[in-house]
Amino acid sequence: MEEITAQELKQRLGRSDKLQLVDVREPQEFEICNLGGELIPLGELPRQSGRIRRDVPVVVICHHGFRSAQAINYLSQRLGYDNLLNLKGGIHAWATQIDPTMAVY
């Protein structure tokens, strides 16, 4: 599974690289802090996988990187996605390494 660090994601976003951000946390977690993108809770992936693009790199985000890894395993093994990147350390890594003003939980 390919990973992307918070610093690498910041660089790509700063260059306006074409990416899709998919957050697989629950809505109440997304409300606390998020990077934008699509909110598709892990349990809804089977029903909402059609919202995930195949034509650009997709960064999958959760709290610490575990649920996003599960999502990537499902999407790649069951549905053949090959363009997925796991945000290493999740949104927590972004908050602690990139944006100290972001809420943590």
Question: What pTM did the predictor assign?
Answer: 0.97
User: Phi/psi at 84 (nearest 5 deg)?
Assistant: -105, 140
Tell which phi-psi region holds residue 90, choosing left (phi > 0), alpha (psi between -120 and 50) or beta: left
Please report the domains of the chain, with CATH numbers, ordered by start residue: 3-97 (3.40.250.10)
pLDDT at 12: 98
Residues whose CB falls within 8 Å of the CB of residue 93, separated by 6 or more in sequence, listed in order:
5, 6, 64, 65, 87
Q: What is the pLDDT of residue 93?
A: 98
pLDDT at residue 53, as a whole number: 98
pLDDT at 91: 98
Task: Say if residues 67 and 49 touch (Cβ distance below 8 Å).
Answer: no
Catalytically active residues are 62
